[in-house]
Amino acid sequence: MKNLIIPMGGKSSRFPNMRPKWMLTHPASGNFMCAESIRGINLDFFDNIFFVILDQHEKDYQASRGIIESLENFKNYSEIKDKIKIIKLESPTESQSETVYRAIIKNEITGFIYIKDSDGYFRLDLKNQDNQITYFDLNDIDEINARSKSYIEVDSNGIVLNMVEKKVISSKFCVGGYGFASAEEFCRYYNVLKDYPGECYISNVVFQMILEGNNFRGIESSDFKDWGTLKSWDLYKSNFYTLFVDLDGTLVTNTSHLVPPFIGEGSPLVDNIDAIRKIKQEGSILIITTSRPEKYREITINELEKYNIPFDHLIMGLPHSQRILINDFSSTNTYPSCSAININRNSDTLGQHLKINS
């Protein structure tokens, strides 16, 4: 059997005054963070997908419902839905390795296990059922808390020689993906280490296995996103927007349905269109607003398509007056949660105000 395990049964104090970190809402999809954390993996590789939570999570948040609803938004949900299983632990664990151990014992999991952190994302095409560590290179990422990671050294054949927690021994750091050829072997080594002083990291299990002659391969991932701390999560969220963008005078030169130039006769403001296209490509939502009467919708859509202006929604018929955006904010959607930008009519300078890098 090939098993994916997402352990979420421990204690975390890094995101204070919020619901459990893995339940936070992803800014692009609206799904739980934990669901988005596995989107980059070829889930068809696995026979079982285990989410390990606490009974208290179910009692306080009906967590199972949120997990399933998040996964239902995956394009391949029909192919993976029968693989999804939620394991509920009665009490919090002291470490990620304990969470995995207790899940294995409770559900009698056998065979290959791949342990995936719930607070990060990467792309990986799993192919083998052997011992393996998934890594990324420090040289390929701009923002990261390097001291919070575990690091590996590999030889010329990709075999892991060493693994150390929270100490930089190479540029290759573990992205929170660990493969073990045997769930039984993982449990055996965990039982050897569990009573040692301090937290028993999965990297400790790996290192002990290496010491006793077990080989682990280093497998490089791509497109790593770190959500492990509140700072990294907020930084990641800052790249996403819901943009309400006026059309006439902002994306095309101003037109009117009453006097010339008439609707459909405007010219594109190319730099402004490029600016919002860049934001749209990063996963943001774009809502075009206009005071054009509803009867001009087809002409307007044709104009948007003609100038390759991306949009998710088109709101028409707004009053020709001041527009004010009102939104709430909270610990998970920090102040200020909405902003306003005013530019001169027909000015091709929107990118400067949005701070878009060329």
Q: Is residue 236 part of a domain?
A: no
Q: Is residue 207 part of a domain?
A: yes
Residues 169 and 27 in one domain: yes
CATH of the domain at 118: 3.90.550.10
Do the strands 242-246 and 150-154 form a parallel or antiparallel pair, or are they unpaired?
A: unpaired
Residues 202 and 287 in one domain: no
Residues 306 and 265 in one domain: yes
Q: Which residue has the tokens 């050897």?
A: 192
226, 255, 289 - which closes a domain: 226
Residues 91 and 63 in one domain: yes
Please tell me the total count of domains within the chain: 2
State in Å, rounded, how far the first CA of the chain is from the last one.
48
Q: Is residue 232 part of a domain?
A: no
Residue 12: the pLDDT is 60
Residue 14: the pLDDT is 55
Residues 246 and 213 in one domain: no
CATH of the domain at 277: 3.40.50.1000
Say how far apart CA 298 and CA 226 lie, in whole Å.
Answer: 42
Residues 37 and 184 in one domain: yes
Residue 358: the pLDDT is 38
Residues 304 and 342 in one domain: yes
Residues 209 and 302 in one domain: no
Q: Is residue 235 part of a domain?
A: no
Say how far apart CA 331 and CA 354 lie, in whole Å.
Answer: 24
The Cβ-side half-sphere exposure at 338, using a 13 Å CA radius, reads: 10
Q: Record the pTM.
A: 0.88
Residues 136 and 171 in one domain: yes
The rounded average pLDDT for each run of 10 residues, N- to C-terminus, in the chain (358 residues) is 96 73 93 97 98 96 97 95 97 96 97 97 97 95 82 95 91 96 97 90 96 96 93 88 94 95 96 93 92 97 97 96 89 80 92 67
164, 199, 226 - which closes a domain: 226
Residues 179 and 303 in one domain: no
For residue 148, CA distances in Å to 13, 82, 145 come to: 14, 35, 6
Q: Which residues of 19-54 are buried (b: 16+ CB within 10 A; e: fewer)?
A: bbbbbbbbbeeebbbbbbbbbbbebebbebbbbbbb
Q: Are 114 and 182 in contact (CB under 8 A)?
A: no
Q: Is residue 321 part of a domain?
A: yes
Range of the domain at 35: 2-226
CB atoms within 10 A of CB 285: 16
Residues 334 and 306 in one domain: yes
Q: Which residues of 226-251 are buried (b: 16+ CB within 10 A; e: fewer)?
A: bbbbbebbeebbeeebebbbbbbbbb
Beta bridge partners of 246: 289
